[in-house]
Structure 1
C-alpha cells in the first residue's frame, strides 16, 4: 500500500519520517497529474505547493487552526490531505468535488471565496475574533506573490502589522507568476531576492546549518534571523515587509519540507504576525508544466498525463479569439486606443494588441479597482482605454466604474470575457452579476453581441463613445454561427418576424440563438413569436420600447441575473414610457449557481430552446394572449420563473 493510501487526515502526517515525506510528496504529485489530467483543473499551482502544504498540516492543527488559501485554486493538496482523495474523479463536475475550498465539503475549509487578495482580510478578522473570544488558535493565510499585487492585500497587511499579539502567519507562495509572470513593483522586489547570484550558495549553506539545529529556540531563530538580514537586507537591501512592521522569515526553499516546517514552527511560536516567504516552482514535478513558460499549466483541460498534450481540441473559434483579432485591428486604426488588463493578458485576448503595440498595453496585476480608475485617468488625457477583464471580476471594480469613470463622463470600454454561466469553476466564476450592476451606472452603454459580426461592430462603436463608459460582454464558449437580422426597427435587429405574433421575445447576447430556436418550437405549438435582438442593451432604446407597445406579451431572455438585469431594465423603461404590456424576464436566478457544464446548468435553469419555448407558451396561456385547441403542455414551470414573473403589472 502506498503512503498516500494511509493518509486520511492531517494527523496521519505527524509520524512520517523525512524520507517518507519525500516519498509522499512524489505520490501526491503523481496522484494530481493522474487525476487532473482526466478532469481538467488547476494543475500547475498545486504541483508547486506539495511540500508547503505538507508542512502546514504537520505544524498547525487544522481545522482548529484555520488555513486560508488565497484564491483557493492551489488547495487540491489540502483536499487530498484532509480526506477527499476519493472525490477527485468528480473534480469540477456537477455534484462533485469543487475546484476551490468548499465549506460544505469539509470543516478544514473555512473560506471558499475564490477571488484573489481576500485571504489576508479574512485572516486578520478571524485572528482578531479569536483574540476577543479567548480562543487559542493560529490563523494561516497562504497567498501567492501574484495576489500581493492587489490593493486589498496591502490594506490587510497594513492592519496586520499593527496587531502585535495577533496569532497570524502569512505564507507568501512566491513562484513569480499568477497566470503569467507577475508584474509590478512587488514582483520586482521579490524577483531581486529570487535571482541574486549570491542567494543560492547562501541558501545551501544555511540549509545545512538549519537541518542540524534544534527545532525550537537556541540557534534556529538566530540562523533564520541571520538568513533574513543576510539574504534580504544585504544581498537585496529592500526592507518592504520590515517597514510595515511585520516579522519576516525568508526567502526559503518552498520545496524543502523540513526547512519550511522549521520556519513555520518558528513563526507559530513567535505569538504575533509573521510573514514566511517561500520560493516555489509552479508545475514542479511535471516536465511539460515546468517547460511551459506561458503559464506552467495554470489550468488545464483533459491532457495526456505523460506529455501534457491536450486530449480534446476544438478548431472552433472562440469569442476570445474573435476579440483578440478585432481589438488589434481597432488598435491599428485608432492610435488613441490603449489596453489594460488585470494579470490576464493572454486569457482575455489582449496579447496580440500588446505584441503589436507594447507601449500601449498595461497589465496592472490583480488590481481591477486600479485598472478602472487608471483607465479613467488615461481617458482624461484624450486616450480611449479598453479594459479587458473576466465578467465576474468586474464586480470588484464597480465603485470605480461608477464614481471614477461614469461620474467623470470618461470614455472607457470594459470588455467582459466569460460572461454568463461559465461552468466547472462554480459560483464564484459565473459571470452573471455584471448585468445586474451595469444598469445602475448612469449613461453606461452595454452591448451583448450575438455573433462575431456584432462583436466587431460593438468594438468599433465603443471606441467612439468618449463621454460615458461602455461595456461589451460575451461568453467563454466557441463562437456561434452568424445570425443575420431579417429587418431592423431603429437600432433593434429583428431575427424572427411573424405577422400574427402577439408575443415579443427579446434575446440578449448568445441567447439570441436560443430565442430563435425557441420561437420556432413555440410556433409549432400554436404560439407565433417575433424575436428581436436590441444589439445595445443599455441604454434601453426607444425603438425596443415601442415594439413592446405593439404586442400583448414581452418575454426577455438573458444569460445573467434576472434581478435588476437587462430584462428588468426594459421593464422599467416600458413603465416610464407608459407601456403597460406585461414583461416577463427569463434568465439566471440571483443565487449562487454550483459547478457543472454550461449545458447542464442552462438545462437546469430552463434556458434551452425547449425550456424557453415551454415558458413562453405557458406564460402566453396564463395571460390569455393565445387560445390553443390542443392541450397546453403540462410540464412544471422552470425554477427560474418566479411567482413575480407570472403576476400582472
Structure 2
C-alpha cells in the first residue's frame, strides 16, 4: 500500500491529487477493518476521511493547529499522526482514547469529548499567535450538529471582532449530529448551494483601484454586483459574514481536488474564513451511509454482512433490558396516560431512550439540539404553564447547564424531572463522559430532590414518583443492562427521603444507592459465609433528602458503617452519611465509617468493570480492603483475595 511507504503526515504535502485519493481510499479500507474488530466511533470518521487527508496535506501540522470538535471524526487523523499501529487498542484500557487528547499526541491541539468547544479554543489559540506575531494557522473543524450549541455562536461572535488573520473554520456539514439534526439552522444549511468567491481576481481589482486604474464608481459597482451574486448563490454566506467571516463553499468533502482548492483559497484570505464542506456520514460503507445513526458508535461487526457480532453463546438467555430502554418505555406508558408530560432531549433521542417517545407520542417529544442550557430553561417554561417536562440528559452533559438548573428551575421550585442517564462510571468513552459528579453538584442545590434506583424496576417506580412530585427532582441511573429483575409490578410511589433495609444484621452495615446496592449484598454474603458475621444492607434510594432516621438508627446499632457509591467520594453519598453521623451521634459512640467510591482522579477509558476496580468499589476490591481494615472484627488473617485490577491513586 502507498501509505506504508510514507512518513506521515509530512509526506502528504509532496503528493499529487491522485496519490492523495489513493491514501484516502487505503485509510478508509483499513479503518473499516480495524473498527470491525475493536468497535468505536465509525460513521463520523468515515465521512471525514478525505477532509483529514487534505488538512494534513495543506497545513504544516503540528505547528499549525487542527482542532476537531468532539472527536468522533478523529480516527483518520489519529492514523495520519503516528498512531496507525495502535488503532486496534482504541477505547480499551491503556490503549488509545476514542477522542482527542493533548497528552496522547502533539497533533491533538485540544482535547474534547463534548460538542461545541472547538471554535472557542481555536479563537484563544489564534489570538495568542496574533500577539506573538506568529504565522501559524488555526483550523477548527466543527460539525453542523455541534454548531447548534450556543457556545459555538458565542465564539463566532467574539472571533469576528478580533481581526484574526490565520483563522480558517471548517464546517463539516453532514446533516447529522449523532441523530438527525433539528431546528432552523439545519434547514438553513440544507438550502446552501455552491458559491466560491474569486479571491485572486478580487485582490487584483482592489490593487488596480488603489493605483487609480479603476474609477471609484466602477469599483463600487463591481463590488456590489459580486455581493449580490453571492447572496443569490449562497444563503449560508449571509449568516457567517454577519460574524465577520469570509464564506467559501459549499465544497464536496469527498472530492480531494475541490477540497485542496477551497483550502488554498482560504489561506489567501485576509481575515477569518469559513469553509463549508458537505460530507456523507458513513461514506464508503454502504450500511453506514444508509443508517448513520445505527453505525455512529459500533461494537465489533462482520464487514461483508454488515451485521454486528453476537457475543451470546448457544442457548444463553438474552440479557436484561438496558436502563435506558426501561426508562424510555416507562415514559411512553406514562405519556399515553397524561398528555401534560413532555419528554425533552438535547440531540440524543436514541441515547436517552426518547426515540421510543418520538415514535409513539411525537406531540409529547421535543429535541432541542445540542443545547443543554436551553433544554433546561425550556423545561422550566413548560413547567410554569402546568406541563410536566422530563429532561433526559446524560449526567456528564447536564454539567453544561448547571446554572440553569439552579437559577431557572430550583430557585423557582419548578416541577422539572431530570433523567440522568449514564450516571456513574461509563466505560470506554473515558474521562470526558464519566457521570461521576452529579450527586456532588446537585445535592447542595435548595429544592432539589435526588433519587438513585437500585435496579431497573425501581427506576420505573421512581419515574412515576418523580412525575407526581411538586418540585425539581433528578433520577440517576447507569449505562448498560439492568439487573434482570421482574418488570411487571404495577407502578407505585416510592417514599421520598426513605430508605429500605434489604438485609438486617449486626456489627457491620452497608449503605448504598443505585445498582451498587447489589455489590453491597454480594460483599455481605461473602462476609457471612467466610466469617459468620451477618451484615446489614440498606438501600438508601433517596440521596436527597437522605433518610437521616435510618442512618441514625444504623449508626447507633452497628460498629462499622460502610458506604458504596458509583460517584466521586467528594460530596457524594458517603459524605452525606458522615454529615448525619457527625451531627447526630456523639463521638464516643459513633461507628467507624469507611467509604467506597470514585477517587479524586480523571477516570481513563476502560470497561465499566475495570473502572469499578480501578477505584476500588467492585466487590472483590471492597472485600479485600475490608479484610485488611477490619481484622479485629473478622478475627483471622487476611484471606487470599486479590484486587481485580490496578487501582488508581488520588
Same fold (TM over 0.5): yes
State the match for 2:412 in structure 1.
408
State the match for 1:267 in structure 2.
266
Classify 1:227/1:560 alpha carbon distance in 2 versus 1 (closer, same or farther; 3 Å): farther
State the match for 1:535 in structure 2.
541
State the match for 2:188 in structure 1.
189
1:474 correspondence with 2:477: yes
Larger displacement relative to structure 2 (331-340 or 229-238): 229-238
Match for 1:613 among 623, 628, 648?
623
Structure 1 unmatched runs, 5+: 194-198, 644-649
State the match for 2:614 in structure 1.
604
Per-residue CA deviations over 1:482-513 (Å, capped at 9, x if unaligned) read 399xxx99822222222xx1111012211111
Larger displacement relative to structure 2 (612-621 or 85-94): 612-621
Q: Are the aligned partners of 2:621 and 2:642 in contact in 1 as well (CA < 8 Å)? A: no
Per-residue CA deviations over 1:273-315 (Å, capped at 9, x if unaligned) read 11111110000111111111x6161111111112321012563
Deviation of 1:636 after TM superposition, in Å, equals 8.7
Q: Give the secondary structure class of the aligned counterpart of 2:248.
A: strand
Q: Give distance in 1, aligned partners of 2:649 and 2:280.
A: 49
Q: Are the aligned partners of 2:569 and 2:599 in contact in 1 as well (CA < 8 Å)? A: yes
1:553 correspondence with 2:560: yes
1:335 correspondence with 2:345: no
Deviation of 1:135 after TM superposition, in Å, equals 2.3
Deviation of 1:109 after TM superposition, in Å, equals 0.8
1:352 correspondence with 2:351: no
State the match for 2:322 in structure 1.
318
Classify 1:279/1:528 alpha carbon distance in 2 versus 1 (closer, same or farther; 3 Å): same
Deviation of 1:540 after TM superposition, in Å, equals 0.9
Q: Are the aligned partners of 1:254 and 1:280 in contact in 2 as well (CA < 8 Å)? A: yes
Q: Give distance in 2, aligned partners of 1:23 and 1:66.
A: 25
Deviation of 1:78 after TM superposition, in Å, equals 0.7
Q: Give distance in 2, aligned partners of 1:120 and 1:408.
A: 34
Q: Are the aligned partners of 1:215 and 1:262 in contact in 2 as well (CA < 8 Å)? A: no
Larger displacement relative to structure 2 (606-615 or 142-151): 606-615
State how 1:407-556 maps to structure 2 within 5 Å. 407-467=411-471, 469-482=472-485, 491-498=498-505, 501-526=506-531, 527-546=533-552, 547-556=554-563
Deviation of 1:634 after TM superposition, in Å, equals 7.9
Deviation of 1:463 after TM superposition, in Å, equals 0.6
Q: Are the aligned partners of 1:553 and 1:620 in contact in 2 as well (CA < 8 Å)? A: no
State the match for 1:99 in structure 2.
98
Deviation of 1:166 after TM superposition, in Å, equals 4.2
Q: Give the secondary structure class of the aligned counterpart of 2:329.
A: helix
Give aligned pairs, total. Answer: 617
Q: Give the secondary structure class of the aligned counterpart of 1:252.
A: strand
Q: Give distance in 2, aligned partners of 1:584 and 1:346.
A: 38
State how 1:189-228 maps to structure 2 within 5 Å. 189-193=188-192, 199=193
Larger displacement relative to structure 2 (392-401 or 142-151): 392-401
Deviation of 1:600 after TM superposition, in Å, equals 1.7
Q: Are the aligned partners of 1:540 and 1:573 in contact in 2 as well (CA < 8 Å)? A: no
Structure 2 unmatched runs, 5+: 208-221, 313-317, 488-494
Per-residue CA deviations over 1:522-555 (Å, capped at 9, x if unaligned) read 2234243111101112111133322233222211
Q: Are the aligned partners of 1:140 and 1:168 in contact in 2 as well (CA < 8 Å)? A: yes
Q: Are the aligned partners of 1:46 and 1:283 in contact in 2 as well (CA < 8 Å)? A: yes
Q: Give distance in 1, aligned partners of 2:140 and 2:517.
A: 44
Per-residue CA deviations over 1:551-598 (Å, capped at 9, x if unaligned) read 222111011111111221222233233464332210011211111111
Larger displacement relative to structure 2 (390-399 or 524-533): 524-533
Classify 1:483/1:516 alpha carbon distance in 2 versus 1 (closer, same or farther; 3 Å): farther
1:297 correspondence with 2:295: yes
State the match for 1:574 in structure 2.
581
State how 1:21-36 maps to structure 2 within 5 Å. 21-36=20-35
Q: Are the aligned partners of 2:149 and 2:369 in contact in 1 as well (CA < 8 Å)? A: yes
Q: Are the aligned partners of 2:511 and 2:564 in contact in 1 as well (CA < 8 Å)? A: yes
Q: Give the secondary structure class of the aligned counterpart of 1:552.
A: strand
State the match for 1:19 in structure 2.
18
Q: Give distance in 2, aligned partners of 1:157 and 1:324.
A: 36
Q: Give distance in 1, aligned partners of 2:72 and 2:151.
A: 19
State the match for 1:589 in structure 2.
599
1:395 correspondence with 2:394: no
Q: Give distance in 2, aligned partners of 1:295 and 1:365.
A: 15
Classify 1:58/1:216 alpha carbon distance in 2 versus 1 (closer, same or farther; 3 Å): farther
Q: Are the aligned partners of 2:41 and 2:297 in contact in 1 as well (CA < 8 Å)? A: yes
State the match for 2:636 in structure 1.
630
Q: Give the secondary structure class of the aligned counterpart of 1:14.
A: helix
Larger displacement relative to structure 2 (91-100 or 235-244): 235-244
Larger displacement relative to structure 2 (435-444 or 73-82): 435-444
Larger displacement relative to structure 2 (14-23 or 227-236): 227-236
Classify 1:642/1:566 alpha carbon distance in 2 versus 1 (closer, same or farther; 3 Å): farther
Per-residue CA deviations over 1:146-180 (Å, capped at 9, x if unaligned) read 00110111110100111113421110000000011
Q: Give distance in 2, aligned partners of 1:641 and 1:619.
A: 19
